[in-house]
Every structure is written in C-alpha cells, then in structure tokens.
Structure 1
Amino acid sequence: MPRDTDPLAGGPRDAPDTPCERPDPHRAGPPAPRPASPTRTGAAPLPAPHPERAGPPDPSEPAALRATAPLTSPPAGGAPRGYRAVFAVREFRAVFAAHLLSLLGVVVSELALTVLVYELTASPLLSALTFALGMLPYLVGGTLFSGIADRYPARRVLVTCDLICAGCVAVMVLPGTPVAALLVLRCLVAAVSPVFTGTRMAALADILGEDDLYVLGRSLLRIVSQGALLAGFGVGGLLLAVVSPRGAITITVATFLGSAALLRLGTRDRPARAGGGQGGTLLRESLSGARLVLGNRRIRALLLLFWLPPAFVVAPEALAAPYADEIGAGTVALGLLMCAMPVGQIAAELYAGAVLSPRVRSLIVLPVAAVGLLPFLLYGVSPGIVPIAVALVLAGAGSAYIIGLDQWFVEAVPDELRGRAMTLLTAGLMTLQGAGMALAGLAAEFFPVHQVVAGAGALGTLCLLLLVAEVRRTAPAHHIRTEVRDGEDQHMASG
C-alpha cells in the first residue's frame, strides 16, 4: 500500500516518563491494565487505555497462525533477540512482505505515471503536479477518514485499501483514461495512504505488543521504506527502458494485489478498536479523534517532535539539483547528494535497533532530536560535494531518535484512539514535508541555495530546542526506569 515515508532526524521522521506495569510472561493470571496517564494542565481528557488485548489464540485461525502468539517482552534464554525476534513472529513476516511489495509498487507507479502524463501533455507543470499530488491529499485523508482505522477491524481496512489502490491503478492503465482522470485517481490513492499506514502502525502493536518488538518492527518498516525509495526509482527506470509507462504501471497492480493477499492470509482478524463505532458518523468520529489527540498536551508535543524535523530536513533534498548547479557539479554529484541522507538514516536505524538497549534509545531521543539539523549549517560556507555529502549522512543519522520516540508515542495514546492517532501522525508528516519543500523552493527564488539550506538548519534547530523543552515539561512525573529480570536488560515503559 502507499508509501510509509517516516521521519529522518529530520527525515523525516524524551525525557522522563512514567513507567507502566507490564504483564510478566512467566507469571500466571491476566495482565494488569495499563494505568492512565496523569492529567496535566491544558491537556484534553483522553479515554482510559484498555488492558492489553493479547488473550488466548483464536481457535478459528489456522494452526500455523495460532502457534505464533504476539511477543510482548524481549525473548529470554536462547530465543532470538533484536531484529531476529521480530522476524520470528509469523504475522509480522506477512506484514513486512506486504509492505515491501506495495512500496515498490507505489514508487514505480509514481515514476511511470509522471512519465506518462508528460508523454500525453508535454507539460512539465502537469508532470510535476502528478508527483506532488502524492502528498497533498494526505491532510484530507488523514483528517477526515482517520476514524476508519479504529472503527473497523484492521485486517479488513488494510486489505480494502490495497484493493482500492489496485483498482485505481488498473483504471490508469486503460488507454482511454484522460489526463484529468489520471490526476484524480492519483489523489484517491494518496488519500487512502494515511489510513492504510496509520492502521498498519496501530495493528503492529497488536501483533508485536507495545514493548521493544513493536519499536524494532517499526524500525524495520522505516528501513525498508528508505531502501525502497533508493531501489524503487532504479527499478522503475530500468522498467521504463524496456516497457511503456502503462506497462510499468500494470506491474504495480500485481504488487497491490499481492500485498492484499499477504495481509488477508497472513494476519489474524482482530476486532475493531472502537467496538464497531460509537454511533456517530465516520466524519464525526474522525474529527473528534483528532480533537482528542491534538487537545492532549503530551501527545501534541510528541506529534510535533515527529513532524517538525521533516519540515526542515527536506530542504537539501528539494534543492539538491539547484545546489549542484550552483557549485558546478554534475549528475553523479547530484545522485550522491540524493542518496547521502537515506544512507545515513538506514545505518543509524540499524545501529540503534541492533546495538543500543531500549533504555539508551530513550535517553538519546531529546539530545539527538535537538542537534539533528546542525549539519546543515555546513552549507553556509558552501564547501563542495564531499563535505556536504558527509553532512547529509550525519543529518540522516539523526533519525536514531525516532526509534525511542515510537515507544513513547504508542504508550501515550490510549488503545481505542491509536488508529486515529497513527493516521493523523502520517498525515501531518507528509503534509509538512510537502510544505517544507514548497517553502524551500520559494526561499531559493530570493536567496542562494546554500544560504537557504543553512537557514533551514538554523531555524529548525531553534524550533526543536523550544519543542524539546515542551516535551520535557509535559513528561510524566517519574523518570523512565529499566526493570532488570533474570539478569537481562528488559524494556522499560513510558507514559
């Protein structure tokens, strides 16, 4: 399904928290419900979080699926650890494979559709608009349709979104489809994207639990997202060298259908989070969920920590071609600039997930977020391609803070609001990235490119310092603590 473009340390993509009691997998008896977050001044009241919904395996599920229960704590003894433990969960493997298929489909279809529109119209504006339409509808879809993520069972939502995208792409392939219809279909796919992504993010907490496996699962999906962006455009370019744009788009129909099949057959059918709706309309549920999420001071601060860095980090990406032209560099240098930040993000994400303990990942959230945009200041002296590429790799490495922030967010949001909160997170993330690109381009009309990027780094750092202070102020009363059981470093929880 649609691309999950998660933050860099700026790419996109805390402080003391209250520990929450987690069920001990070795202790008999039902898990204790998670305590509600303490009320703070200026925070809208949120529904009390539900107890953990793991429960016994569903006897109607295939035996292979029943055999794999969600893992809610780090494995002990000789069991797999880290990323290997995530892949040991059968349902996650299905989600991961579906994510990879749909990502490649989205990237290839974006590239092929842009080329197709240019061939039909010979208009650079319409061709660029085709690509931009992949971001613009996120705000509408993520705000007006976010209630879907909690109102209906997650598996049904995910499969339906994939089928809608497959249908839209199939119509694009038809020879008689006019350009206006191609753009409308592109908008529809983009409007579905935040619903799909938010629902999948929320469903991961059911599949992997809310502890370290969830954090590592999200990390893997982010790594695949960045890798697919690098590989997808290359694959799309090779496809367009041997087939027509419509032919390349046709292939993406199969990727969406494959994703739908994997999700339908490889994941359990869990009940809706909101119990099938609260009697109101979908629009009312979506807007009320957005008000509850944004009205809570703590959750709002965490959302902004996801959103703000991407709004600034896109500046060097949006202006890579003008910067290369400004310093007289060629296409090879341009490719290096475009790849540097994703490479830094992938490396940092892998290191943080595989080497750092959950406690350390939480401790570095605020410091790393605060300094993640400082490498952009190097643009101010315009030193050339190699130093700038190093600066971009370092900026990408700043994404290491996201892996700890994921844990804070999933534990701060009540279970029945989680789908809407995740959908809103995705919508805001993509919308602010689009706005950041537009503002960077506008500024470059009046100032040299290197000054614009350096200015984005300085202004972004100032905004993040203020935001970090707000996150600290909204943190629950108690510090994060790490519980040590049986000599193992266990995951701590934050409120």
Structure 2
Amino acid sequence: MSEQTEVAGPPLPVSPTGSPTEPSTEPPTEPPTEPTGYRRLFAVREFRAVFVAHALSLLGVVVSEIALIVLVYGLTGSPLLSALTFALGMLPYLLGGTLLSGVADRYPARRVLVVCDLVCAGCAAGMAAPVTPVAALLALRCVIAAVSPVFSGTRTATLADILGEGDLFVLGRSLLRIVSQSAVLVGFGLGGVLLTVVSPRGALVITVCTFLSSALLLRLGTRRRPARAGGGSLMRYSLAGARQVLGHRRIRALLLLLWTPPMFVVAPEALAAAYADEIGVGTAGVGLLMCAMPVGTIAGEVYAGAVLTPAARSRVALPLAAGGLLPLLVYPSAPGLGWILAALLVTGLSGAYTLGVDRWFVDAVPEELRGRAMTVHTAGLMTIQGVGMALAGVAAEFWTVGTVVGGAGVLGTVCCALLALEVRRTDGRDGADRHVTGR
C-alpha cells in the first residue's frame, strides 16, 4: 500500500467552546475609504470663521486695487503710474515673504492674522484720506503687499492646526483658492460697478470695513494657539527659515513644482490683449481669453476635491503637473478662438494637481517650520508669476504672441516633467527627509 502525502492547510477557526467552526463564506469587508467633498469643512467652526474672513479680506483687496488704480490715474493722468500701482501689489511679496516670514512661527497665529488685518485696514484708511498724496498712496500700497504673504502663510499654517494635516487641510486650501479664482472672474466687474456709485476714496472706506470685519471674525472665531518657535533676531530667524526650506531637497522640489506651472500659464493671460489683436477677435475676445483658464481651474479643483479620493488625487498629481501646459502648443497654429479657449480651459483643469502636491508639502514640512514655509511658498508664487508676466512681455517684443505662448508651453512642459521626476525620486526617502538638515 502506497503512502499518501498530507497537504498542509490553514487551521480551521475555533469557536469559543473549543470546537472547530466552518470558515465564513461572506466576502471580506472592504477597508473604509476616506470621505471626499467640501461640505464637511463647514462642520468645523473655526474653518467657517477663516473662510468668511478670507472672503471679506479678498473683497477688500479687489476693491482697493480697482479704486486705487482709478484714483491714481485721476490725480496724475499718467498711465505709467496707474500701471505701477497694480505692479506694486506684487513686487513687495518677495521682500515681505523673505524678511518677515519668521513672524508666522515666532508669534501666536491668531495675533499675527488680526494684526495683519488691522495694518491693512490702517493703510486703506490712509489711502481714503482726501489729503493723501500720490507718493503716499503708492507707499501704503507697498505696505499692504509686504504684509500679505505673512498673512497668507500664517493662515495656511493655521489651517493645518484647525483641520489637521490630512485631507481636510487639502480641501480647505483648495476651497480658499477657488474663492480667490472666483474673485478674478467677478471681483473686478463688481468693483467697476461699485465705482459708478461711490468715489474711489469712498470705495477705499469699504475696504477698511472689510479688513476690520475680517480681523474681528478671526479674533472671535478662532482660538489662541502658542507660537511654534522663536528666539533671536526676526530677520535672522526669517532668513534661516527660508534657507532651511530651500535647502531641503524634497521640500524644495515640491515648492518648485507648485511655482513652475503658474510661471508659464500666466503668459497667455498677460498677452491676451495682444493675441486678440493678432487673431482679430476684438475686445470681446480679450475677456474670453482672460476668463477661460480661471474657469478651468475652478472646475478642476471642484471636481478633484468633491469627487476624487485622496489616493486618486495623489496618483494624478504628477501627470497633471507634467502635462498641463501641453494644450498651449496649439497657439502658434492659430486654429481659431474656439480651439484656443478649449486649450486654455484644459490647461486650467490641470491645476487640480495642486491638491495632491499640497498634501505632500504639508507632510514634508516639520511643524516648527510650517509658518515660514507657507509664507515662502506664497511669496515665491506671487513673485514667480510676476517674473513670468514680465518675461512673456519681453519675448513678445521679438516674436509673435502665438510663438511666445507655444514656446512657454514647450519650455514649461520640460521643466515640469523634470520637477515631477525629482519629486518622485525624493518620495519615500529615509526618515531624515522628515527633518530639515540644510542639505
């Protein structure tokens, strides 16, 4: 008789009485997925206060920009000074974001936010005064612009305290960006209507009220949290934080990936009027060319935040960042306004990559550096967009607008693809990557 070999298998489960039981035939339960959607943000009381305060301060900024441009032009009759008024809203970002970034970590966040709003309200009140000369108007504009990155960086760092470092933080950041993009679409139009009812200085009084209301909401609607770190000279502390942020390989790669696509996507917006003239679509076409990309950006963020899971956003982040500028390659062939608008819309949709990268960024930054990192991010983003606009304008002096925007699409795609590879290389590095070592 031949021997039979027994096949080993998993032991039968045992009942509480000690007797074997039959294995369950029910399918295994799927692990719960993290919920998506923006609605759950408003269940957090502090976020509601931050959201309304953001909307109010943004309204104040939009109204003040329009009113100040009109006021300066009315006082001087100079198109150059009027344009300089708008430019001054971006230039001091780099200075304030670099030298004052330490404020975001060195002092309690609520105090920083409230003081920033009060400083802006005071500047707007000075602008509204009938005796304020043009030079003082421009100086006060610079102060608001220098304070803005400190306010934005502190608020973003506070969002991580309010919402946690997970998906709620990503959605909160996204929703604030959506509000900002919506302001681009409707704010200037509403501001123009407002100036038909009140004078520019009267509109600036409204700005004072919006900043004061924002300060009150943040003071009463958010709780006090201690400073994250501090000590020593503020300027030295701020510069040391900037060096730490930019010296850390993964944080630097993520920052550059958040900055680079915006640097190139501003080219079609900055040259919209020239391109409309180039293809013969008139002033109505300028408005459409200016609006198409913000509409796409809003739609992309809303879809990614409301429908995609956090894991899905992480999967699509690098492909969207690397390929988002490719639609701009249609510009040199001038296929017609409809195709150009479609290309701009698709480019805007790719902006949804930021939801995935935001999650990686807040995970990579140590808590004690978070305020300075967010301030550097904000300052760099505004500065790099200003640089992009200037470079696009210079290039358009030598080549057609279609060639310039198409070239921006090619160069931007190469840069973004290389940065996406760098971000992938730094993913999952050893534990030292969680700490800033100044590499």
TM-score of the aligned structures, taking structure 2 as reference length:
0.89
Which residue in the other structure is 1:183 paired with? 138
Which residue in the other structure is 1:114 paired with? 69
Report how far residue 229 of structure 1 moved: 1.6
8 Å CA contact 2:36, 2:309 repeated in 1: no
State the alpha-carbon separation in 1 of the partners of residues 169 and 411 from structure 2: 33
Matched, 1:97 2:52: yes
Matched, 1:84 2:36: no
State the alpha-carbon separation in 2 of the partners of residues 463 and 435 from structure 1: 16
Which residue in the other structure is 1:221 paired with? 176
Superposed, 1:293-442 pairs within 5 Å as 293-442=245-394
State the alpha-carbon separation in 2 of the partners of residues 465 and 411 from structure 1: 22
**Aligned match for 1:463, one of 386, 397, 415:** 415
Gaps in structure 2 of 5+ consecutive residues:
1-31
Q: CA offsets per residue over residues 35-84 of structure 1, 9 Å max, x none?
A: xxxxxxxxxxxxxxxxxxxxxxxxxxxxxxxxxxxxxxxxx89x985211
Question: Whose helix fraction is larger, Structure 1's or Structure 2's?
Answer: 2
Matched, 1:165 2:117: no
Matched, 1:207 2:162: yes
Q: CA offsets per residue over residues 167-186 of structure 1, 9 Å max, x none?
A: 00000011111111111100
Which residue in the other structure is 1:291 paired with? 243
Report the AA paired with residue 174 of structure 2: S
8 Å CA contact 2:35, 2:309 repeated in 1: no
Report the AA paired with residue 201 of structure 1: T
Report how far residue 472 of structure 1 moved: 1.5
**Aligned match for 2:397, one of 445, 449, 453:** 445
8 Å CA contact 2:296, 2:347 repeated in 1: yes
Superposed, 1:47-66 pairs within 5 Å as none
Q: For 1:459, what is the secondary structure of its paired residue?
A: helix
Report how far residue 370 of structure 1 moved: 0.3
Gaps in structure 1 of 5+ consecutive residues:
1-75, 479-492
Report the AA paired with residue 450 of structure 1: G
Q: CA offsets per residue over residues 224-266 of structure 1, 9 Å max, x none?
A: 0101121210110101112111111111111100100110000
Q: For 2:196, what is the secondary structure of its paired residue?
A: helix
Q: CA offsets per residue over residues 301-331 of structure 1, 9 Å max, x none?
A: 0000011111111000000001111111122
Report how far residue 338 of structure 1 moved: 0.7
* 191-200 vs 224-233, greater mean Cα deviation: 224-233
Which residue in the other structure is 1:235 paired with? 190
Cα distance change, pair 329–81 in 1 and its aligned pair in 2 (3 A): closer
Report the AA paired with residue 239 of structure 1: L
State the alpha-carbon separation in 2 of the partners of residues 291 and 106 from structure 1: 30
State the alpha-carbon separation in 1 of the partners of residues 35 and 354 from structure 2: 23
Q: For 1:366, what is the secondary structure of its paired residue?
A: helix
State the alpha-carbon separation in 1 of the partners of residues 121 and 355 from structure 2: 31
Q: CA offsets per residue over residues 332-386 of structure 1, 9 Å max, x none?
A: 2111111100100010101000110100100111111000101111101011211
Cα distance change, pair 375–80 in 1 and its aligned pair in 2 (3 A): closer
State the alpha-carbon separation in 2 of the partners of residues 263 and 384 from structure 1: 48
8 Å CA contact 1:80, 1:88 repeated in 2: no
State the alpha-carbon separation in 1 of the partners of residues 302 and 419 from structure 2: 26
Matched, 1:260 2:215: yes
State the alpha-carbon separation in 2 of the partners of residues 341 and 118 from structure 1: 29
State the alpha-carbon separation in 1 of the partners of residues 405 and 36 from structure 2: 40
Report how far residue 292 of structure 1 moved: 0.8
Report the AA paired with residue 199 of structure 2: S
State the alpha-carbon separation in 2 of the partners of residues 240 and 330 from structure 1: 25
State the alpha-carbon separation in 1 of the partners of residues 251 and 36 from structure 2: 30
Q: For 2:127, what is the secondary structure of its paired residue?
A: helix
8 Å CA contact 2:54, 2:176 repeated in 1: yes
Report the AA paired with residue 386 of structure 2: G
8 Å CA contact 1:374, 1:457 repeated in 2: yes
Which residue in the other structure is 2:15 paired with? none
Q: For 1:383, what is the secondary structure of its paired residue?
A: coil
Which residue in the other structure is 2:87 paired with? 132
8 Å CA contact 2:101, 2:375 repeated in 1: yes
State the alpha-carbon separation in 2 of the partners of residues 326 and 477 from structure 1: 49
Superposed, 1:24-43 pairs within 5 Å as none
Identical-residue share of aligned pairs (%): 72
Q: Larger Cα Rg: Structure 1 or Structure 2? A: 2
Q: For 2:149, what is the secondary structure of its paired residue?
A: helix
Q: For 2:38, what is the secondary structure of its paired residue?
A: helix
State the alpha-carbon separation in 2 of the partners of residues 471 and 408 from structure 1: 10
Report the AA paired with residue 321 of structure 2: A
Report how far residue 447 of structure 1 moved: 0.7
Q: For 1:169, what is the secondary structure of its paired residue?
A: helix
Report how far residue 469 of structure 1 moved: 1.5
Report the AA paired with residue 286 of structure 1: S
8 Å CA contact 2:36, 2:305 repeated in 1: no
Report how far residue 108 of structure 1 moved: 1.1
Runs of 4+ in 1 over 3 A off after TM superposition: none
Report how far residue 454 of structure 1 moved: 0.6
RMSD value over aligned CA atoms? 1.6
**Aligned match for 1:249, one of 189, 199, 204:** 204
State the alpha-carbon separation in 2 of the partners of residues 264 and 364 from structure 1: 38
* 262-271 vs 81-90, greater mean Cα deviation: 81-90
State the alpha-carbon separation in 2 of the partners of residues 452 and 293 from structure 1: 32
